[in-house]
Amino acid sequence: MQGLAMKGLTVAVFFWTLISPSSGSKAWPTHTVCRNGNLEVLYQSCDPLQDFGFSVDQCSKHLKSNLNIRFGLILREDIKELFLDIALFTKGSSILNFSYPICEEDLPKFSFCGRRKGEQIYYAGPINNPGFEILPGEYQVLLELYNGDRSTVACANATVISS
């Protein structure tokens, strides 16, 4: 019973750090998704009200088509529908814009589709993506998750540095 209480306290502290900005700071901390000898991926939440957790199991310039991720946040909006927009930039020039429906009302792709405001999302598992190699350079990536009402669920500014 005491172990269960300790786990509950750990989860509560984790979620408190996700939703509370550090005192005196106007920006969320920069998080490291992964780092190895020739690849570094960092992100910072661009939502002024909420931070979130994200990590990947693989840190390689050669992304495989089934990438295992972990993602967690507390919802400030309902997500009957959930969409992801990705904008990729290098040296100030846009090189890719991509939109993807994650949850559609009639086609929920993940178990968290349909969750309501105040509930948590925690996903650990594969995502299907095209396998590709990250070319050398520095890239900025803007990621935005939004619901069917176009309300922001989460957003991040990421930096990818590949050598």
pLDDT in tens, 98-121: 999 999 988 777 888 999 999 998
Predicted pLDDT at 78: 93
Q: What average pLDDT does the chain have?
A: 84
Sequence-ordered list of residues with C-beta below 8 angstroms from that of 128, at least 6 positions apart, any chain: 65, 66
pLDDT score at 44 = 97
Count structural domains, the chain: 1
For residue 147, CA distances in Å to 117, 131, 141 come to 11, 27, 20
Q: What is the pLDDT of residues 25-72, one digit of tens each?
A: 578 999 999 998 899 999 999 998 899 999 998 888 888 888 899 999
Share of the chain above pLDDT 90, in %: 58
Pairing label, strands 62-63, 132-133? antiparallel
CA dist., res. 92 & res. 101, Å (int): 27
> CATH code at 76?
2.60.40.770
Does pLDDT of 95 surpass 70?
yes
Residue 8 sits in which domain range? 2-162
What are the tokens at 103? 């949850």
| Contact assessment for residue 18 and residue 74, using Cβ atoms and an 8 Å cutoff | yes
**CA nearest 61: which of 149, 131, 154, 145?**
131
Read off the pLDDT of residues 128-154 as tens digits, 9 standing for 90 and up: 877 788 999 999 999 999 999 999 999
Q: What pLDDT is attached to residue 53?
A: 94
Token look-up 């992964």 returns 34
What pTM value is reported for the model?
A: 0.76
- Counting other chains too, the contacts that 99-104 makes at CB distance below 8 Å and 24 or more residues apart are 102/145, 103/79
